[in-house]
Chain A
Amino acid sequence: MTDLERILTRVERPARYVGGELNTIIKDWERVPVRIVFAFPDVYEVGMSHLGMHILYHVVNSRDDALMERVFAPWIDMEREMRREGLPLFSLESHRSVCDFDVVAFTLQYELSYTNVLNMLELAGIPLECRARDSGMPLVVAGGPCAFNPEPLAPFLDAVFLGEGEEALHDLVEVVHRYKGGGREELLMALARVPGVYVPRFYQPEYGADGGFRRIVAQAGVPAKVVKRVVRDLDRAPYPLRPIVPYLEAVHDRAVLEVFRGCTRGCRFCQAGAIYRPVREKRPETLLDQAEALLSNTGYRELSLSSLSTTDYSHIKELVAELVERYGNEPVNVSLPSLRVDSFAVELARSVQGVRKSSLTFAPEAGTQRLRNVINKQVTERDLLQTVETAFAAGWMRLKLYFMLGLPTETLEDVDGIARLARMVLDKGRECGAPKGRLAVTVSTSSFVPKPHTPFQWEPQAPLPVLRERQAFLQGRLKGKNLVYRWHDPETSFVEAVFARGDRRLAPALRRAVELGCRLDGWRECFRFDLWQQAFAETGIDPGAYAYRSYGYTDALPWDHLDSGIDREFLTREHAQALAGETTRDCRNDQCTGCGLCPNLEIEPYVAEAGTGAPV
């Protein structure tokens, strides 16, 4: 028995750590010059549900000169055993130590996974600070949505990839190959010249006498602003048609078909809607071919049509009808991850779901029309009631409604509006004759977190006591038969807000939190707010100064040097309109809203045309 084998007998779900799943790629280590390990800073079941990982695994492994393996954050029991036996973090494919790879590539999906990034580096035996790593150590890089403000992680990351990775990863492989065996500094300088790559050590922040962030200065030879990368033709972009099929049940345990990227609805709180612009659809015939390949290569019984707002796909009705026609008897279920609040969406859900055993979820986000206008969520009370009526009439009895607490300008009246809406929905259910025993309306709230590159990036987060008070208020108003209220802990949202808009001065606090034992913070049973407070206190950080900070339009922002392609003027205009309660149309069908992205990146939205020869 090896050390690993012995450890595996003592941990929960050892299959998380060993690999060997269907469609895994194991290459001959000695014959491949560039070796990358994709590091997902959360547990296996979460990481394996992430489409980006499957895409990059496919992109890198399709090259002869590179390989990509995987590693995930170990659960607490595994970490304890690894530390006890002195076993360093290892990849799933070849069971090699992570520090043997040329590149460790993290994805930053969520601020609360930052402690896992540091903990994984430490478990791998890789010095945390870039400056302490010599050329014999792997290059540590990161991408993903949080890469749009990676400043709190800046001292730990050699390079950060902004935007979509399909093409940028090829550049990474080539640069690493060319500079292999050479000095770290030359390699980093070459990377800093690749479009979309940000090498934090070449950028120095400056702070004012008052302690405020003043600006960030790029050293000579690197771009002053790093602009995100974007895939121009999504229809022809590489797509993983032989994704790894986990043995363990992943969070999303199904085949995933990405129908389009980007979303132009323009919800003002939404970072994904900002950083994944413009909308790029795939053609229906491409999607049908990909669906066929995915199902026959995986054996999944569920196909999920994925995007930020799948109901918006130009040919969604025809696509779904064709998929149900082809696979409905297999039996393969087609699933829609997010539903727009309208009857069309319910009809669509009905057409894919023969048996309506599950619940339907809608996200009005705010309780009053006034506040929905502020956030540009263009859903009226009438829309919602009509939609739920269609849903109840179609036989659904359990509905879930998502809202946010603490949105800019929110008052108690808006919070009360959530309860009022929920009761109206419930009444509709009774009106439609849903049986009392099975009717259920679940309200879920999360706390608003201001995110960089959105029109709300200047806004403060609502103070913790206010969030708690509003939650308690809502709890009181949502008591009653057939009503369920669920909420996210505001403390986690507070830490999320601190890091979302943080600067480099947070790095020591993050490091201290890891030393104190913070990790897997996204898991309620692991999150330790007391340890976070201790870490902030010991490193002299006032977390409230980050979360509750209100920025002026002319204030420097710690992420000003990172360019999502959207004009700052557009964001200020959107912010002003939000406060005035004015909405902005979707650019998909109406006229251009002038966000600046298309001219800035020299790209155009692509909406698939109808009747291009396919049976759809």
Chain B
Amino acid sequence: MPRFRLCYRQEGRARYVSHLDIVRAFERATRRAGLRLLYSQGFNPRPKLTFAAPLAVGVSGCREYLDLELEEEREPVEVLEALRSNLPDGLVPVAVRVVADGPALMSLVDRTRYLAVGPVPEGFDARALQAELAAFLSRGEIVVERRSAKGLKRKNIRPGIYSLRAGINGGKLCLSMELKAGAGNVRPDEVLKALGERLPLVPDDFAVLRTALMSRDNQLLWGGKGDGE
């Protein structure tokens, strides 16, 4: 059965929707669109709909991916148009292509890029911020607390921060980060929180956008080099 990969944006009000609810929204959209999703067999049939990486509540994504398996052959452009007219505002299909059977989409994702935009810390210019970030990254350990089912855990996030750069644009501080995904992942809010301990910035003041998902060999899930898109 054909497997389609959809690249979409999740933005605006839809960024406040949890991953589980996004899954259901896509399932319903395919039904409205008359696309016949394949369902798993068994007691409680689940749609064959898999996502690259859940987006945290509150974070937008401009290149998100999911794979869907349909009962029938369709032209990718047809699938794209059908979804376009049936998704709620804030879930915006960008492109669809057919992909060969292969490893699960989620297992491909190795690193993620984020852009966090917020107020410039009082008394800092671009140069001073760069220096602060360099000092921040030169530490061997950056420890944050993470809440899990077993309670609070302390975790060193430094190995999972591949890059962190600051710029000032339109009077706003723009932090771009490349972070580890999957096992040993680092979340953008953890980086902001750790930064907030040395800079006068409040993580809640930052709008966060995920800009890219990449595989281990620095390929975008879409194909093509990570730097080329």
Contacts and interface: CB of A to CB of B under 8 A. Distances in A.
Interface of A: 1, 5-6, 8-10, 13-15, 17-22, 24, 245, 247-249, 296-301, 330-331, 355, 357
Given A15-B17, A17-B16, A248-B17, 4 more contacts: A18-B13, A22-B87, A297-B32, A331-B45
A14 B57 contact: yes
A14 B21 contact: no
Q: Which 4 A-B pairs have the closest CB atoms?
A: A20-B13, A299-B28, A299-B31, A14-B16
B206 to A, nearest CB: 7
A560 B44 CA distance: 52
B182 interface: no
A8 B43 CA distance: 37
Interface residues of B, number: 32
Contacts of A299: 27-32, 86
B12 interface: yes
A355 B206 CA distance: 48
Contacts of A297: 32
Contact of B22 (A19, A247, A298): A247
B39 A15 contact: no
B89 interface: yes
B14 interface: yes
B199 interface: no
A357 B42 CA distance: 12
A355 B43 CA distance: 8
B89 A20 contact: yes
Contacts of A15: 16-18, 21, 57
Contact of B32 (A14, A296, A330): A296
Given A1-B118, A6-B205, A22 B25 contact: yes
Nearest to B119: A1
A8 B44 CA distance: 34
B58 interface: yes
Interface in B80-105: 86-90
B58 A9 contact: yes
Contact of B21 (A8, A248, A330): A248
Interface string B56-74: 0110000000000000000
B197 interface: no
A121 to B, nearest CB: 26
By CB atoms of chain A within 10 A, which of B24, B45, B206 has the most? Answer: B24
Nearest to B88: A22
A5 B117 CA distance: 13
Nearest to B36: A330
Contacts of A24: 88
B29 A247 contact: no
Contacts of A22: 25, 28-29, 87-88
B207 interface: yes
B227 interface: no
Contacts, number: 71
B29 A18 contact: no
Interface of B: 12-14, 16-18, 21-22, 24-25, 27-32, 39, 43-45, 57-58, 86-90, 118, 204-207
B39 A331 contact: yes
Contacts of B16: 8, 14-15, 17-18
Contacts of B204: 1, 6, 9-10
15 contacts: A1-B204, A1-B205, A9-B58, A13-B18, A15-B57, A17-B16, A20-B13, A20-B90, A21-B88, A22-B25, A245-B28, A249-B24, A298-B28, A299-B28, A331-B39
Nearest to B58: A9
Contacts of A6: 204-205
A20 B14 contact: yes
Overall SS of chain A's interface: loop
Nearest to A13: B18
B137 to A, nearest CB: 25
Contacts of A296: 32
By CB atoms of chain B within 10 A, which of A6, A20, A24, A331 has the most? Answer: A20
By CB atoms of chain B within 10 A, which of A1, A17, A330, A331 has the most? Answer: A1
Contact of A298 (B13, B32, B45): B32
Given A1-B205, A1-B207, A299-B27, A247 B21 contact: yes
A21 B12 CA distance: 12
B31 A247 contact: no
A248 B28 CA distance: 13
Contacts of B18: 13, 15
A15 B18 CA distance: 8
A43 B58 CA distance: 20
By CB atoms of chain A within 10 A, which of B13, B17, B45 has the most? Answer: B13
A474 B39 CA distance: 45
Contacts of B30: 299
A301 B86 CA distance: 16
B9 to A, nearest CB: 14
B126 to A, nearest CB: 21
Contacts of A9: 58, 204
Contacts of B28: 22, 245, 298-300
Contacts of A18: 13, 16
Given A247-B21, A247-B25, A8 B58 contact: yes
B114 to A, nearest CB: 15
By CB atoms of chain B within 10 A, which of A19, A298, A299 has the most? Answer: A299
A335 to B, nearest CB: 15
Contact of A301 (B31, B58, B88): B31
Contacts of A17: 16
B12 A20 contact: yes
Contacts of A10: 204
A357 B58 contact: no
Nearest to A18: B13
Contact of B58 (A14, A245, A355): A14
Contacts of A247: 14, 17, 21-22, 24-25, 88
By CB atoms of chain A within 10 A, which of B30, B32, B39, B206 has the most? Answer: B32
A19 B13 contact: yes
Contacts of A248: 17, 21
A307 B96 CA distance: 43
A297 B32 CA distance: 6
A357 B22 contact: no
B84 to A, nearest CB: 14
Contacts of B88: 20-22, 24, 245, 247
Nearest to B44: A357
A453 to B, nearest CB: 40
